[in-house]
Structure 1
């Protein structure tokens, strides 16, 4: 049964956009709601100052990997009033596309794809991490500027403190027997910011997500501008059906290794990192204090779904556009026109690029198409 749309955000064809930094009600000073201003800059602080920031609110976008943003972009208010902070829980270092053979096969510079720097030398290598974050940075910088009509902003990398919060140890990956890292990689500009927390591709836990969100929120007024929280977005589509994929129900109708309550008519996507982010943001009592609540991408028939948001057709084309085949008879040689196709093209899935789709759905071979123009959301006020 499809959910009743209690508060549909926008009708199909209407553009939505922009993020806000997520606020945590416990242990984070300055609850969302009251207007706040950033402190003046000083020689000892790297915070973006109020004079530099024109936005009036923050949106926090939380993703499992540095290419999942489009799963929630339809609910991102693209406005100069919004300061988005993009938080990725991993560097995406687990992708097979970083293997030299796969990388070479998926490189289509002649159709408009942009190669990352450095070229990845293998799965889970440092060069793979750096390549993923390089593509991530360019995609976000270009797409945010495109959606808001502002110049592209490319801030330098800096460190964001990630000391233990709420009794949780820092989640950042570190070699066995060495102290955990105390900083995350961050890029903070006047119009947006992004933060990369290396919690381990394929190994993210809900506790780590809660820790990372709290750490980012605690950086407001220091590394990040001190603004009220408008909305939290979970770009973390997860759909685990009992009659499809790896986790299936037994003879008694229940799943024993993990709850699989999804719908196989939608795109089946069982990645554990996506589930971890979903569970963290939707956990009972996980009120992050955002004025417009926490929005988590989901499948259309999810009983918890309450909202639908759509990108306008033109905006979707700017992000996901594809042209004609450059090599006749080769669908994977279609010209890459959208920013996602250009910057994330070497990671394209399935088929060597990112297929367009109106709603999340399986393709003809059952592969998940999740970068949809229209997305459904579970919204926690």
Structure 2
């Protein structure tokens, strides 16, 4: 049973936090805890590398990836955006080809890119969930406070409380795809999705008596950013950061990716060279200055960028960076 696995992953986090913030006694007490699941939460279907240092090579936990929106607001789904972003000779086509911003085809294409990113990353890391059963759509999840409200082109409130579940056939984890509205994600929606994940989906995926080690969120900075780091005050990302910081979900530690100069920062980790190469690889094309996108990130998300998203090998000068910093709370 997963609940009986030795929690090397959590012990490692505890040790680093202990060194950083002086929690030696607490970390030592946690050495006997044997959790079996970790929740990773991000707003958009291309943010996953932002917490990858705490995700890769984790055979001792069941990884539950929570995607809160389907990325349907991106301008790269408009005809002119797709023409500017997708380069057919250099990267795969989005599937299906988006018809317009906010369209069903846009949301579907973005989710497919997200799923294929994990499929490709699993080729180089056997602990990554990447061999999925056919997607299953959950029954509507109760929303007693009526917090779910997606706003697209109009002011109409669209409500979707079902979740698409991609379960890994090798029992390494699962992807949970919510539909809470790209660009208008609220803290109440983040909390509702995490409560639903903790109370409903993790027990269904693992077992009723599953232990949850913690929750890890994606990268953000406040307005104005932090010195020396890529500024990213996206409101959807900030909603996750604010929710994880303010609300104790009673599911182990809570952490979110941040900047080295964030005064809350407590934890540093680094994505391995192998995983970074697997995500951001490109290959030169003979007789051309162009590069073929061969990495899981560069290939699957290349259509969402004028070229492809770069990665910072040191420091945090780009949105995606190998050196990763986190604040940690509720330990």
Question: What TM-score results when the alignment is normalised by the length of structure 1?
Answer: 0.71
Matches within 5 A, 1:81-100: 81-100=60-79
**Do structure 1's residue 335 and structure 2's residue 295 form an aligned pair?**
no
Query: Once the two structures are superposed, what CA deviation does each residue of 1:126-172 show, in whole Å capped at 9, x if it has no partner?
Result: 1000000010111123214532267941221112345335x532525
Question: What TM-score results when the alignment is normalised by the length of structure 2?
Answer: 0.80
Q: Distance in 1 between matches of 2:243 and 2:48?
A: 17
Query: RMSD across aligned C-alpha pairs, in angstroms?
Result: 2.8
Work out which structure has the larger RCO, using CA pairs closer than 8 Å and 6 or more positions apart in sequence: 1
Query: Once the two structures are superposed, what CA deviation does each residue of 1:46-102 show, in whole Å capped at 9, x if it has no partner?
Result: xxxxxxxxxx71111100111101011111152333221111111000101111222
How far has the Cα of 1:346 moved from its partner? Answer: 0.8
Conserved? CA contact 1:238–1:298, under 8 Å: yes
Q: Distance in 1 between matches of 2:228 and 2:161?
A: 43
Candidates 156, 159, 173, aligned match of 1:192:
173
Tell me, what secondary structure is at the counterpart of 2:194?
helix
Count of matched residue positions in the alignment of Structure 1 and Structure 2: 298
How far has the Cα of 1:222 moved from its partner? Answer: 5.9
Q: 1:114 aligns to what?
A: 92
Which range moved further: 217-226 or 264-273?
217-226
Q: Distance in 1 between matches of 2:201 and 2:103?
A: 32
Tell me, what secondary structure is at the counterpart of 1:67?
coil
**Do structure 1's residue 352 and structure 2's residue 307 form an aligned pair?**
yes
Q: 2:125 aligns to what?
A: 147
How far has the Cα of 1:315 moved from its partner? Answer: 2.1
Q: 1:308 aligns to what?
A: 268
Q: Distance in 2 between matches of 1:101 and 1:327?
A: 28
Determine which structure has the larger helix proportion and give its number.
2
How far has the Cα of 1:108 moved from its partner? Answer: 2.7
Conserved? CA contact 2:280–2:297, under 8 Å: yes
Candidates 157, 177, 182, aligned match of 2:135:
157
How far has the Cα of 1:266 moved from its partner? Answer: 1.3
Q: 1:254 aligns to what?
A: none
Q: Distance in 2 between matches of 1:195 and 1:132?
A: 14
Listed as ranges, the gaps of 5+ residues in structure 2 are: 1-13, 18-31
Q: 2:105 aligns to what?
A: 127
Which range moved further: 176-185 or 64-73?
176-185
